[in-house]
Amino acid sequence: MKYVSLAAIIATVGCGKIGNPPAGQGGAADMGGAAGASGEGGSAASGEGGSAASGEGGSNDDCESAEGGAGGSSSTGGAFGKACPWFELVPRSVRSLSASGDTAVGVNMIWRDGSTTIVPLTTWRDVASNESAAVGIASNGPVWWTPSCGVRPLDLVFGAFPANATELVASTVNADGTIIAGFVRDEQSWSTGDRDLFRWRRGHELEWIGDPGEDGYPDFYWDTFAVELSDDGETLLGLADFVYDEFKTAYSGFLWTPADGFSSFGLPEGYGGFTPAALSGQGSTVVGSVVVDADFDPRIYATIWTPADGFQVIEHTEGNFNDVNAGGSVIVGHSGGPGPGHAVIYDAENGLRLLQDELAPVVPNGYSLQNAIAISGDGKIVGGHARDAQNQGYEFIACLP
For the segment 228-277, what is each residue's pLDDT rounded down to a tens digit? Answer: 999 999 999 999 876 655 555 667 889 999 999 989 888 788 887 889 99
Edge-first strand order for the sheet with 236-244 is 221-229, 236-244, 248-257, 261-264
pLDDT at 266: 80
* Residue range 2-21+30-59+85-399, CATH number: 2.130.10
Residue-wise DSSP of 348-392: TTTEEEEHHHHTTTTSPTT-EEEEEEEE-TTS-EEEEEEE-TT--
pLDDT band at 65 (very low <50, low <70, confident <90, very high): low
Check residue 222 and give its pLDDT: 59
Cα 379 to Cα 399: distance, rounded to the nearest angstrom: 9
- The predicted-structure confidence for 330-377, as pLDDT tens digits, reads as follows 999 999 865 678 999 999 999 999 999 999 999 999 999 999 999 999
Pairwise CA distance, residues 125 & 326, whole Å:
17
DSSP state of 260: T
pLDDT of residue 27: 32
Mean pLDDT, rounded, for 307-322? 90
Average pLDDT estimate for 99-125: 96
pLDDT at 245: 57
Element (H or E) spanning 105, and its range?
A: strand 103-112
Q: 26-30, 165-169, 284-288 — which one is most confidently predicted on average?
A: 284-288
Residue pair 107/43 in contact (Cβ under 8 Å)? The answer is yes
pLDDT above 70 for 20:
no
User: Does residue 140 register a pLDDT over 90?
Assistant: no
C-alpha torsion sign, points 256, 208, 238, 273: negative
Q: Can you tell me the distance from the alpha carbon of 122 to that of 257, in angstroms, rounded to the nearest whole number?
A: 30
